[in-house]
A and B are shown apart, each in its own frame.
Chain A
Amino acid sequence: MKPKIECRNISKAFIQKGTQRVHVLQDISLEVRDNEFLVILGPGQSGKSTLLRIIAGLETPSEGSVQLDGREITGPGPDRGLVFQSYMLFAWRTVMGNVEMGPKLQGVPKAERRKTAQRYIDLVGLNGFENHYPHQLSGGMKQRVGIARAYTNGPQVMLLDEPFGQLDAQTRYFMEKETVRIWETDKRTVVFVTNNIDEAIYLGDRIVTLKGKLPGRMDAVYDVHLPRPREHTEMKFLELRQQITDASELVL
């Protein structure tokens, strides 16, 4: 089967302070399969967010190329949805206003886009909060809005950039559960970036680990053959966790 997303030998260098070149990614090659939940796991400063932004089309690789369905990615587009670590909600719009923004920009008529938006607001569990403004919501709820906003635009691929990094441990655990529930209800290809090894094993069909410090390089790929719903305390879960910890530089 042809991969959904294919990254070929991606390298990325930023120019800082005029002349200084900072290598962020070096020779990354990976494939994402259709409807797969792929987790990119790496420590801070391993370029994982940059990799996601390249797939989103917000950055262009210095070398190499990214293809979606065999077509080269040249810029951002509604076929890919991005969820940001710091939520990035429009503070001046209500939950509904935020969620319906994608179809609104595409010129979808109000009644129709409201219907789609409502479906995803319900899916992420924010029913009843349509008219709340972001500052009235907790962190977990804000990110639910972020997820619903990305989903409503009907992307084939969901890109999540450490979406639960700002949440406390308990809320984070629930949001992971919710993520699986949402993904199983409405399947998409997902690329999920995290620095949290438990989150990676809990969520991923496959885990790609990156080596830090900069530049980020490919480390290893792990297949996670655990039935869902998964348990953090399962023997196999812990074995895999140990295996990844031993092999990587992730200090826990």
Chain B
Amino acid sequence: MAEDQAAIQSLGTQDRSIADEVQKSVRERKPLTLRRVIGNEYFLYVVSSIAFLLVWHHVAASGVFRGALSTPWQVVERFEGLMTDTLAGLTIWGHIWASTQRIFIGFVLASAIAIPLGLFMALNPYVDAIVKPVFDIFKPMPPIAWVSIAILWFGIGEPSKIFIIVIGTFVPCLLNSYNGIRLIEPELYDVVKVLGGNRWNEIIQVSFPASFPAIFAGLQISLSMAWTCVLAAELVASRSGLGFIIVQGMKLSDTSLVIGGMVIIAIVAGLSSVLIMGLEKLLCPWKREIAGL
């Protein structure tokens, strides 16, 4: 009996300690040793980056590609010049802005139509039945296939480029918002029902917030799609933008210009992706963060 009491006592303290179940990571201080520096992931990031640049430099300098590969330093120098000098009337900043602007307009336009449409399709079987057959025809079509028709329709100005971006980003935006709602645990709607809510409450309180992460996943895919599309459009016909820089470099056999254009696209596209990620963090503070991503 006394033992029982003791057991319950100890269990009782555990009961109170549930309040401590929230997990917090603890960082321990360890002495700085060579082993730890070499094992440090940031140290390894720097090492691998420098190694990559060194290999690039040596391959370029050895002349294997007969001048068709410039060294990293040549690329940097070429673009340093472009910060003040102009190419087709624009500095490098002007070209970056030209592409970014197209992406932004096309991206906003596409998501403003595709996300609500995807949500409607998932929520209403009639909308689904009407839109789906048409959408299924366009779904597998690579957006680049639209480049020629876009130029025929809209000429070589801005509208044709924006059109292609809209086409390219539309599909992932719609699919993800659609699936975001379709994959919601149906019992979550039961919660709203039991609490006395109606269909409208279910949509506002469950469907929309629960589909947020999927919508953002769609935006990420759309964004990389948008960069592919803007590049394709600018490669074909353009007087500005990062795609234009690359084509120009090819025409002039200016390798530094081509490679630099590629690097800048990677940087700008990467930054825009980080921006979307930041927006998601802001709007979905409840999302569990996955380590290492």
Q: Would B15 and A81 count as touching, CB distance under 8 A?
A: no
| Interchain Cβ contacts under 8 Å between A and B, 5 examples | A82-B191, A90-B191, A105-B195, A133-B285, A177-B15
Q: Would B195 and A88 count as touching, CB distance under 8 A?
A: no
Interface residues in A169-186 by Cβ distance below 8 A to B read: 170-171, 173-174, 177-178
3 closest Cβ contacts across the A-B interface? A78-B196, A138-B21, A92-B209
Q: Any chain A CB within 8 A of the CB of B203?
A: no
Q: Would A56 and B192 count as touching, CB distance under 8 A?
A: no
Q: Any chain B CB within 8 A of the CB of A163?
A: no
Q: Would A153 and B195 count as touching, CB distance under 8 A?
A: yes
Q: Would A92 and B187 count as touching, CB distance under 8 A?
A: no
Q: Any chain A CB within 8 A of the CB of B210?
A: yes
Q: Which chain B residues lie closer than 8 Å to A40 at the CB level? A: none
Q: Which chain B residues lie closer than 8 Å to A57 at the CB level? A: 193-194
Flag B14-40 by CB within 8 Å of A: 1 or 0 each. Answer: 110011011100000000000000000
Q: Any chain A CB within 8 A of the CB of B205?
A: yes
State A57–B15 Cα separation when bound (angstroms).
34
State A141–B22 Cα separation when bound (angstroms).
10
Flag A110-139 by CB within 8 Å of B: 1 or 0 each. Answer: 000000000000000100110011111110
Question: Which interface residue of A82, A94, A231 has the most chain B CB atoms within 10 A?
Answer: A82
Q: Any chain B CB within 8 A of the CB of A102?
A: yes
Question: Which interface residue of B11, B190, B285, B286 has the most chain A CB atoms within 10 A?
Answer: B286
Q: Any chain B CB within 8 A of the CB of A80?
A: yes
Q: Would A233 and B4 count as touching, CB distance under 8 A?
A: yes
Q: Would B14 and A170 count as touching, CB distance under 8 A?
A: yes
A80 and chain B: residue at smallest CB distance:
B194
A133 and chain B: residue at smallest CB distance:
B286
Q: Any chain B CB within 8 A of the CB of A215?
A: no
**Which of B11, B21, B187 is in CB contact (< 8 Å) with A137?**
B21
Q: Any chain A CB within 8 A of the CB of B253?
A: no
Q: Any chain A CB within 8 A of the CB of B90?
A: no
State A93–B287 Cα separation when bound (angstroms).
10
On chain B, the number of residues with a Cβ less than 8 Å from chain A's Cβ atoms is: 30
State A178–B15 Cα separation when bound (angstroms).
9
User: Given contacts A137-B22, A174-B11, A231-B4, could you give 6 more A-B pairs where the C-beta distance is less than 8 Å?
Assistant: A57-B194, A77-B196, A91-B286, A93-B286, A94-B286, A106-B196
Q: Any chain A CB within 8 A of the CB of B123?
A: no
Known: A82-B190, A105-B192, A133-B286. A138 touches B197 (CB 8 A): no
Least CB distance from B138 to A in Å reads: 32
Q: Would A81 and B194 count as touching, CB distance under 8 A?
A: yes
Q: Would A105 and B206 count as touching, CB distance under 8 A?
A: no
**Which of A105, A125, A178 is in CB contact (< 8 Å) with B197?**
A105
Known: A88-B188, A93-B286. A141 touches B21 (CB 8 A): yes
Q: Any chain B CB within 8 A of the CB of A101?
A: yes
Interface residues in A62-118 by Cβ distance below 8 A to B read: 75-78, 80-82, 84, 86, 88, 90-94, 101-102, 105-106
Least CB distance from B214 to A in Å reads: 13
Least CB distance from B64 to A in Å reads: 52
B15 and chain A: residue at smallest CB distance:
A174
Q: Which chain A residues lie closer than 8 Å to B286 at the CB level? A: 91-94, 133-135
State A132–B28 Cα separation when bound (angstroms).
25
Interface residues in B155-187 by Cβ distance below 8 A to A read: 185, 187
Flag B189-219 by CB within 8 Å of A: 1 or 0 each. Answer: 0111111110001000110011010000000
Q: Any chain A CB within 8 A of the CB of B288?
A: yes
State A140–B14 Cα separation when bound (angstroms).
12
Q: Would A56 and B194 count as touching, CB distance under 8 A?
A: yes
State A136–B285 Cα separation when bound (angstroms).
12
Least CB distance from A63 to B in Å reads: 23
